[in-house]
Amino acid sequence: MKLLFVGDVMLGRLVNQALKKEPSNYPWGDTLPLFKKADLRFCNLESVISDRGQPWSATPKVFHFRSDAKNIEVLKAAQINAVSLANNHVLDFEYEAMFEMLKLLSDVKIAFAGAGATFTAASKPTFLKANQQKVGLVAFTDNEPQWEAADLIPGIFYLPPQRKDRRAQQLAEIIRLAKKESEILIISAHWGPNWGYAPPAEHSSFAHFLIDRGADIIFGHSAHVFRGIEIYRNKVILYSTGNFIDDYAVDEIERNDQSFIFIIETKNKQIAKIELYPTIIENFQAKLAVGDEAEDIALKMQTLTAELGTPLEWQEKERQLTLSLL
């Protein structure tokens, strides 16, 4: 079974403007053939999809991202199976917009995790099936504590990545139960600062904690750059999958327009192989990097990953980084 991951998919602002004249497959550029080869596809949806709501004003917030309701078709174009909604933009246009998005996702049968009408809904795992296997997804964030869902309050599954926090213990129990129902369990973590190629120390400790409780893949995002990959107990920690689609200004040093398509292959309920395809954002599109640029992006990831004890090999013919675990 092949599981495909990409980081932040932001369809608001200038991307939304482009989609008023471009087709729904436009933001995915030339990457869709890789999406079609996967069995399940995941992303962090970094904007609300809705025609409703007003910009969040209850607490100070600089950026508000919203994409037209019709752009649910963008996710369908890439055959996205599940999205993480535990992030700092799902409530950018308040509860009305979030609830419309939840309905839109449900109507097109795209699963979601990390946000909902109550804490129970926001923290609830979602399950998908492929190749006669069941895959679970739980999503949390350490962003926007004012959006934390509660018994009678809509919002996100918020928790700081600290083992002793009561919410971390709740997550540990959710993982224990979800693992009983799934062969592969993914924990989506929208965490940490926007910048920096090195994962914060607390992320490593917390990722190990989650794997020790039953997680198989940590799907990290929030940082605008990709970070190295760690293999722990033969499980995979993607500390940051970076930005995949957006309209952001590009930092010349920390290149927030560079990332990867991450494909994790499983066999017999175990992680067997990892493949990484270098990508770049141009004109509000994700594109496969080519030539020297692809090699530069790959070398950067090789260096970051080697620092975490994980050797990745560059396959020139396929233009990909690989790591075999079985």
Which CATH number fits the domain that encloses residue 228?
Answer: 3.60.21.10
Q: Which regions of the chain are under pLDDT 50? A: none
Percent of the chain residues past pLDDT 70, beyond the cut: 100
Half-sphere exposure of 87 (CA within 13 A, CB side): 31
pTM of the model: 0.98
User: Which stretches of the chain are DSSP H helices?
Assistant: 13-18, 32-37, 72-77, 94-107, 119-123, 166-181, 201-212, 291-306
Length of the chain equals 326
Q: Return the pLDDT at 276.
A: 98
> How many structural domains are present in the chain?
1
Q: Domain residues for 42?
A: 2-324
What is the tens place of the pLDDT at every residue in 194-248?
Answer: 999 999 999 999 999 999 999 999 999 999 999 999 999 999 999 999 999 999 9
What CA–CA distances, in Å, run from 122 to 99, 118, 128, 137? Answer: 12, 6, 17, 12
